[in-house]
Amino acid sequence: SQQGEEDPQALSIQEGENATMNCSYKTSINNLQWYRQNSGRGLVHLILIRSNEREKHSGRLRVTLDTSKKSSSLLITASRAADTASYFCATDTSNYKLTFGKGTLLTVNP
């Protein structure tokens, strides 16, 4: 399996519920990032968490990082239909490069 794998592959929830997505990786990292992609569009950066940080917040987003377990989670609180998108984690496996996972497809039903 590749560096940076999201789980679950797909998630369907009702508007107002919280959505949690997980990412596991294999090698040591300097930082981990989460991106969002609306259908057929480019990726948009959401949040970056550094290896010496355990938790970070941005609006309705909360990201945690556990370097001992090589895992991260993205929590979206009070989800909205507009949050429907694919979410990717990315790790800096070497200088210059990010390695992306295959993504979690989140569907928020109105």
d(CA 59, CA 70): 25
- CB of residue 30 vs another protein: minimum separation in angstroms? 5
State which of residues 26, 60, 62, 102 lies at the interface with another protein (CB under 8 A).
102
Between 40 and 110, whose beta carbon lies closer to another protein?
40
Find how far residue 84's CA is from the centre of its chain. 13
- CB of residue 98 vs another protein: minimum separation in angstroms? 5
Is residue 54 involved in binding another protein (CB under 8 A)? no
DSSP 3-58: SSEEE-SEEEEETTS-EEEEEE-SS--SEEEEEEE-TTS-EEEEEEEETT-SEEEE
Q: Which residues bind another protein (CB under 8 A)?
A: 2, 30-31, 33, 35, 40-45, 48, 88, 90, 92, 95-103
